[in-house]
Protein backbone atom coordinates (compact mmCIF):
# COMPACT_ATOMS: atom_id res chain seq x y z
CA UNK A 1 0.00 0.00 0.00
CA UNK A 2 2.85 2.34 0.86
CA UNK A 3 4.45 1.72 -2.53
CA UNK A 4 1.20 2.50 -4.35
CA UNK A 5 0.88 5.84 -2.52
CA UNK A 6 4.47 6.73 -3.38
CA UNK A 7 3.90 5.88 -7.05
CA UNK A 8 0.71 7.98 -7.16
CA UNK A 9 2.50 10.90 -5.46
CA UNK A 10 5.46 10.78 -7.86
CA UNK A 11 3.17 10.47 -10.88
CA UNK A 12 1.20 13.51 -9.79
CA UNK A 13 4.40 15.44 -9.22
CA UNK A 14 5.71 14.54 -12.66
CA UNK A 15 2.48 15.66 -14.33
CA UNK A 16 2.42 18.96 -12.42
CA UNK A 17 6.02 19.80 -13.29
CA UNK A 18 6.31 21.66 -16.59
CA UNK A 19 9.42 21.63 -18.72
CA UNK A 20 10.98 24.99 -19.44
CA UNK A 21 9.56 26.55 -22.57
CA UNK A 22 12.42 28.85 -23.65
CA UNK A 23 16.17 28.67 -24.10
CA UNK A 24 17.77 32.00 -23.23
CA UNK A 25 20.90 32.41 -25.35
CA UNK A 26 23.59 34.86 -24.28
CA UNK A 27 24.23 37.08 -27.30
CA UNK A 28 27.91 37.36 -26.30
CA UNK A 29 28.33 33.65 -25.49
CA UNK A 30 29.83 34.55 -22.10
CA UNK A 31 27.18 32.82 -19.97
CA UNK A 32 25.74 29.31 -20.37
CA UNK A 33 22.31 28.87 -21.92
CA UNK A 34 19.53 29.38 -19.38
CA UNK A 35 16.06 27.91 -19.46
CA UNK A 36 12.85 29.66 -18.46
CA UNK A 37 9.06 29.46 -18.75
CA UNK A 38 8.68 33.20 -19.33
CA UNK A 39 10.53 36.07 -20.96
CA UNK A 40 11.01 39.28 -18.99
CA UNK A 41 12.41 42.74 -19.68
CA UNK A 42 15.37 41.74 -17.47
CA UNK A 43 16.26 39.10 -20.07
CA UNK A 44 16.34 41.85 -22.71
CA UNK A 45 18.51 44.03 -20.45
CA UNK A 46 20.92 41.08 -19.90
CA UNK A 47 21.25 40.49 -23.68
CA UNK A 48 19.56 37.10 -23.53
CA UNK A 49 17.88 36.01 -26.74
CA UNK A 50 14.88 33.66 -26.30
CA UNK A 51 14.28 30.66 -28.53
CA UNK A 52 11.38 28.27 -28.04
CA UNK A 53 13.03 25.07 -26.84
CA UNK A 54 10.89 22.82 -29.05
CA UNK A 55 11.93 24.88 -32.11
CA UNK A 56 15.68 24.82 -31.38
CA UNK A 57 16.43 22.35 -34.24
CA UNK A 58 14.67 24.63 -36.77
CA UNK A 59 16.48 27.67 -35.34
CA UNK A 60 19.84 25.90 -35.68
CA UNK A 61 19.02 24.83 -39.24
CA UNK A 62 18.29 28.46 -40.19
CA UNK A 63 21.58 29.58 -38.62
CA UNK A 64 23.46 26.87 -40.52
CA UNK A 65 21.87 27.95 -43.82
CA UNK A 66 22.84 31.58 -43.16
CA UNK A 67 26.39 30.58 -42.22
CA UNK A 68 26.67 28.55 -45.45
CA UNK A 69 25.42 31.51 -47.50
CA UNK A 70 27.92 33.85 -45.79
CA UNK A 71 30.74 31.40 -46.52
CA UNK A 72 29.89 31.23 -50.24
CA UNK A 73 30.98 33.66 -52.95
CA UNK A 74 28.86 36.63 -54.07
CA UNK A 75 26.56 37.38 -55.81
CA UNK A 76 24.17 35.98 -53.24
CA UNK A 77 20.92 36.53 -55.10
CA UNK A 78 17.72 36.65 -53.08
CA UNK A 79 18.30 36.61 -49.33
CA UNK A 80 15.93 34.25 -47.56
CA UNK A 81 13.91 35.37 -44.57
CA UNK A 82 12.81 32.95 -41.86
CA UNK A 83 9.99 32.86 -39.34
CA UNK A 84 10.36 30.26 -36.61
CA UNK A 85 7.78 30.44 -33.86
CA UNK A 86 7.99 33.92 -32.37
CA UNK A 87 11.34 34.67 -34.08
CA UNK A 88 11.73 36.50 -37.36
CA UNK A 89 14.96 36.66 -39.40
CA UNK A 90 15.13 39.75 -41.61
CA UNK A 91 17.95 39.71 -44.14
CA UNK A 92 19.23 41.83 -46.99
CA UNK A 93 22.19 42.02 -49.33
CA UNK A 94 24.17 45.26 -49.24
CA UNK A 95 26.44 46.38 -52.06
CA UNK A 96 29.66 48.03 -50.87
CA UNK A 97 32.84 48.97 -52.73
CA UNK A 98 34.49 45.96 -51.05
CA UNK A 99 31.78 43.66 -52.43
CA UNK A 100 28.37 42.31 -51.51
CA UNK A 101 27.64 41.76 -47.82
CA UNK A 102 24.75 40.08 -46.02
CA UNK A 103 22.99 41.75 -43.10
CA UNK A 104 20.62 39.80 -40.82
CA UNK A 105 18.63 41.00 -37.81
CA UNK A 106 16.70 38.49 -35.73
CA UNK A 107 13.76 39.64 -33.64
CA UNK A 108 11.95 37.67 -30.97
CA UNK A 109 8.49 38.68 -29.75
CA UNK A 110 8.01 35.77 -27.35
CA UNK A 111 5.75 36.56 -24.36
CA UNK A 112 5.18 40.05 -25.83
CA UNK A 113 8.77 41.09 -25.06
CA UNK A 114 10.55 42.33 -28.19
CA UNK A 115 14.26 41.45 -28.29
CA UNK A 116 16.40 42.11 -31.37
CA UNK A 117 19.89 41.00 -32.22
CA UNK A 118 22.15 41.88 -35.14
CA UNK A 119 23.12 38.41 -36.28
CA UNK A 120 25.16 39.38 -39.32
CA UNK A 121 26.34 42.98 -39.66
CA UNK A 122 26.81 44.31 -43.21
CA UNK A 123 29.61 46.59 -41.95
CA UNK A 124 31.71 43.52 -41.10
CA UNK A 125 33.07 41.04 -43.64
CA UNK A 126 30.96 38.01 -44.53
CA UNK A 127 33.82 35.76 -43.40
CA UNK A 128 33.85 37.32 -39.90
CA UNK A 129 30.03 37.10 -39.67
CA UNK A 130 30.15 33.44 -40.77
CA UNK A 131 32.74 32.72 -38.04
CA UNK A 132 30.52 34.37 -35.38
CA UNK A 133 27.44 32.41 -36.48
CA UNK A 134 29.38 29.13 -36.60
CA UNK A 135 30.65 29.79 -33.06
CA UNK A 136 27.13 30.67 -31.90
CA UNK A 137 25.82 27.40 -33.41
CA UNK A 138 28.45 25.44 -31.46
CA UNK A 139 27.55 27.36 -28.29
CA UNK A 140 23.87 26.47 -28.70
CA UNK A 141 24.51 22.82 -29.61
CA UNK A 142 26.76 22.31 -26.60
CA UNK A 143 24.01 23.58 -24.27
CA UNK A 144 20.86 21.96 -25.67
CA UNK A 145 19.18 19.72 -23.07
Backbone conformation region of residue 90, classed left if phi is above 0, alpha if psi is from -120 to 50, else beta: beta
Contacts of 30 (CB under 8 A, 6+ apart): none
Is the pTM above the cut of 0.75? Answer: yes
Beta carbons within 8 Å of 5's beta carbon, 6+ residues apart:
none
Res. 88: pLDDT tops 60: yes
Q: In sequence order, what are the residues at sequence separation of 6 or more whose Cβ sits closer than 8 angstroms to the Cβ of residue 82?
A: 62, 88, 89
Confidence grade of residue 46 (pLDDT, cut at 50, 70, 90): very high
Amino acid sequence: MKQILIIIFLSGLAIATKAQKYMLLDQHMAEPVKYSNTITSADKFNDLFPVEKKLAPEFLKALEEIETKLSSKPPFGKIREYEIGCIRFTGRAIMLAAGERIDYVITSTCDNVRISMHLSDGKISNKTNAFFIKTWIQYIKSSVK
